[in-house]
A and B are shown apart, each in its own frame.
Chain A
Amino acid sequence: MFSLLRSMWLTFLHAFHKRETILYPEEKPILPTRWRGRIVLTRDPDGGERCVACNLCAAACPVDCIALQPTEDETGRRYPDFFRINFSRCIFCGYCEEACPTYAIQLIPDFEMGEYNRQNLVYEKKDLLINGQGKYHGYNYYKVAGMAIGGKDKGEAENELPPVDIKSLLP
């Protein structure tokens, strides 16, 4: 009998607590930055596409909802020719972000992806690529990797010696 009354009392008290329910969509929820929501592709500090189309995100994806095709520009810089995420399959696990060696693919705190037509949940590169660095600032993969691309020759990456003179043995 007592516990019954106690429960009623506690429930009654909740009427005076701070409300957890918000009036979405008029009021927007505040989400932590590490919330795993909509996936974006980011750019490096110089404005270049971060994605080098290494296929690791696609390989890590447990539902296989990422498909892309690597290609190269004339200087040897690699980028995705197309990059497609089928969000109707995505489970927002964040494995793609973890697998990404260039911080290109990131999950952002946006979950508002409702669609009446499932086809509209297929995002192409133009829908995914944002004009910014996303959560991770300052990283530029090509500044670290040993490949020569336009504007960065051999030996100009971080922690690199200038190219070897292979004719040093010649008299």
Chain B
Amino acid sequence: MATIYIDNHPYQVQAGKNLLETCLTLGKDLPYFCWHPAMGSIGACRQCAVKVYKDENDTKGKLFMSCMEQVRDGMRISIADLEAKEFRAHIIGWLMTNHPHDCAVCDEGGACHLQDMTVMTGHNYRAYTFQKRTYRNQYLGPFLNHEMNRCIQCYRCVRYYKDYAGGKDLDVFAAHNHLYFGRAEDGVLESEFSGNLAEVCPTGVFTDKTLKQHYTRKWDLTSAASVCHHCSLGCNTIAGERYGTLRNITNRYNGEVNGYFLCDRGRFGYEFVNSPGRIRKPLVRSRLPEATEKYPALKAATSAIRAGRVIGIGSPRASLESNYVLKKLVGEDNFHHGVSDVDHDLVDLSLSILRNGPARTPSLREVEKADAVFILGEDLTNTAPMLALAVRQSVRQKPILEEVSQAKIPVWQDAAVRELVQSEKGPLFIAHYTHTKLDELATQTFFDSTDTIARLGFAVANIIDPDSPEVRKISEEGQELAQQIADALMAAKNPLIISGTSSGSERVLKAAANIAQALVAREKAAGISLVVPECNSMGLALLGGHKLESAFEAVMNGYADTVIILENDLYRRAGSATIDQFLKNCKQVIALDHLHNATTEKADILLPAAPFSEADGTLVNNEGRAQRFFQVHPVPEEIQESWHWLAEIGTIMAIEEISNWHGYDDIVKAIAKEYPELEGVSKTAPPTDFRIAGQRIPREPHRFSGRTAMLANINVSEPKPAEDPDSPLSYTMEGYRGQPPSSMIPFFWTPGWNSNQQATNKYQEEVGGHLKGGDPGVRLITPSGTASYSTAVPQRFVPLEGHLYMLPLHHTYGSEELSNQSPSIRERIPEPYVAINAADAIRMKVDEGQLLSFSIEGQIYQLPVKLSQTIPSGSAGMPNGLPGVPFAELPAWAILNRDIKWKQQPQTTF
């Protein structure tokens, strides 16, 4: 702790931070541009100047850039000093000399840091009378719009894109007053994190292109705290609505999870909500017209359930509440997980590793602090992009811990730190069967089949702790690599093992668990992070349920004849022949979903389930963190959460427990009571009757416009605003004006700070730290440490003649069901292909682009060949979940429809 004097007022602050950070943490309004809490200081914009005095007798003082100055005990500074104020006003004046006169047509307007800072410094009129510099814009792909004229040369974009996110294709060009921030030529920005540029840029150079299609100012959005539904990490988002459609997704800061950033799938995947393929009316297919109202549909569903023997199929992309109510409705024995059997087993295994293993699973923020990472069988950039971004930061940990602290450079001195560290990286080992974007950072990469990766993992564990099972017949190179990895992990303070379900291999997961366990056995603070397939896979596993296979059997054997399918396209979970057969044998199929798909087409009764922005619920992410998402805007009564539909059916059927529930809170309480492990779910957000000073939390900012005109075309008498029975939020602008509890912040705004990222400062305990009142989310899983070492060391992979071992390949854009329906994401989805080993291709006499036909479990595929140097010989990679590629439960043996002979491979590793 240190005492500093700001304008002669003493403050107790943390030593070692920079002055700007400290002033902002103290709640002072000090303008800045180039500094960013996640990226540190470079002192480029000169905006944050303050007066620093030598001692109390010094009256003159000197101007210092506060972002470059370290806090020292007894320091005396002045923000209000006239000279400093004038200096800051001049700087803005200069930055604005070339700024175009286009705030009115700029998408940043109303959430613009440059606007805020211009107002804050009091720069009102342009004094510069000469001509303005102009630039040509570039096409940057479907996500971002480019308007270079607005640039103020703060360098935040390239520092974020290149230094922080590891992008290659955005840079600064030209020199002096001609600086140009863009690509070398027009084209799609390659990074999966490019969307953050829209928030990182303090003005409107990079703006959200999807928002532009239905533009709305920040002050006109009805927004609510939401949680991303597009992968298992559960990043916090803010979803904004206007005129009944969802307009954009912005980052919602969570100090433990996503921090300041989101991936593009999460940011731009929201458009499926506005899709014309949405189910907006209940359908009862047995009558005409099919589309009906809420109550006839409920009646039809109830009588179908009463008449039949019913089973329920849950979903990993539906909320915990929806799955729970379904389970209650159909009964414990009749509840099945709507996931492929491979996924079911792998997620269960992941859960048991987290539950019973000794190692703790870290949050994303803790991943950033890991100083040695070993990734087994997971292509993070494509399966859990934000985890890849966190790993990118973690490779800087070791040099920062060792060299930077030795050189006595504060970590926030970004330019100096990068100069010192250069390209030096901490240990990162990646074992996978295909190239990943993180390979460029890796100390060593290892490409082989999943079994061989698992063998490497077991070998590493065995070296760390000889009590763990031994790997027999291991090659010398393999042993050497295992030794190197083990040494690096043992040398680290916070080693981290990352694995997951995406390679479809239990053995890889078990190997990862063994390494983590071995590290803990050697008293290392090791972490294990496991990626699971979908946003609520972990929640579903915590609820428990039977496999999908047993649902099929139940219907085939006549045990059941009616099925309730919850938010699930079964054609993505099992082979189409199986599902066809299954649905045909069901007397009644009741489906609940947001979008029309192959399964809903076959449903007899279809109920429109509310997607994330129109629903309340809880998701459990891959670290077992339960997080609440809130409904953003009121919807017609025919669209409601699945749990709402199912609870109403239960009430009509007079199931006692269900009819006793009177709203969301009762369901959450019932979950907490029934599953002690899920008790935390009831603490994720304040209860429905929570009020501050008797008031609800408004979803709309005080400046929200158009209340009395929005619906005037329908009826000039304004309807009564909708009331939210499920949360303490109001759908209007009326309510408590202060800061709400951290778990339900609908938007970040404080007087003078309109931009999302910068207004966040005022909601944090310290800038860049945790939110006031603690970061949202409740961790449900505490490792018990009861597990013993897995002994399932696999044999090395042996190719099978006439077959290819198909491994799943994942894509950021394309592998996730809902985001695939978003037009901007769809532009980025790759064409279907099959990746085969280059040497195999020669042997099979196929070339890049030629069609390869094969069959998996009777499903015939014909896909163009893509050559890969890394896919192990005898196996191949197939994109997972891509539109147009029929489902296959991967990994699986594919039978080749042409005769090929396998030459015995000389075994080099393992």
Contacts and interface: CB of A to CB of B under 8 A. Distances in A.
Q: Do A and B come from one complex?
A: yes
B175 interface: yes
B180 interface: yes
Interface stretch (B126-134, B254-262, B429-437, B493-501): B126-134
Nearest to B126: A159
Contacts of B705: 55, 58-59, 61, 64, 66-67
Contacts of B132: 146, 159-161
Interface string A56-80: 1011010111111111100000100
Interface in B577-593: none
B408 interface: no
Interface of B: 100-105, 109-110, 131-137, 147, 149-150, 173-175, 178, 180, 212, 214-217, 219-220, 243, 703-710, 712-713, 715-717
Interface in A54-113: 54-56, 58-59, 61, 63-72, 78, 84-86, 88-89, 101-102
A31 interface: no
B217 A59 contact: yes
Interface of A: 52-56, 58-59, 61, 63-72, 78, 84-86, 88-89, 101-102, 118-119, 121-122, 124, 141, 144-148, 154-155, 157, 159-169
B708 to A, nearest CB: 4
A154 B709 contact: no
Nearest to A85: B709
Contact of B709 (A67, A145, A163): A67
Given A67-B706, A169-B175, A121 B101 contact: no
A145 B105 contact: yes
Contacts of A66: 705-706, 709
A157 B134 CA distance: 10
B152 to A, nearest CB: 13
A67 B716 CA distance: 13
B549 to A, nearest CB: 49
A164 B134 contact: yes
B178 A52 contact: no
A166 B104 contact: no
Given A61-B705, A64-B708, A67-B709, A166 B131 contact: no
A89 B717 CA distance: 10
A63 B133 contact: no
18 contacts: A52-B105, A56-B104, A59-B705, A61-B705, A64-B706, A64-B707, A69-B215, A69-B243, A71-B215, A84-B710, A84-B713, A88-B716, A89-B708, A145-B100, A146-B101, A164-B174, A167-B174, A168-B174
A49 B215 CA distance: 18
A54 B215 CA distance: 10
B406 to A, nearest CB: 38
Contact of A122 (B147, B180, B712): B712
Contact of A121 (B104, B147, B704, B716): B716
A157 B99 CA distance: 13
A64 B219 contact: no
A71 B243 CA distance: 14
Given A146-B149, A154-B136, A162-B134, 8 more contacts: A59-B220, A63-B708, A65-B712, A69-B243, A71-B215, A122-B716, A145-B102, A148-B137
Given A64-B707, A64-B709, A164-B180, A54 B716 contact: no
A166 B219 CA distance: 36
Contacts of B135: 154, 163-164, 166
B241 to A, nearest CB: 13
A144 B99 CA distance: 12
Given A163-B136, A164-B133, A86 B173 contact: no
Contacts of A69: 214-215, 243
Contacts of A124: 713
Contacts of B109: 54
A113 B512 CA distance: 76
Given A64-B708, A72-B212, A146-B101, A166 B174 contact: yes
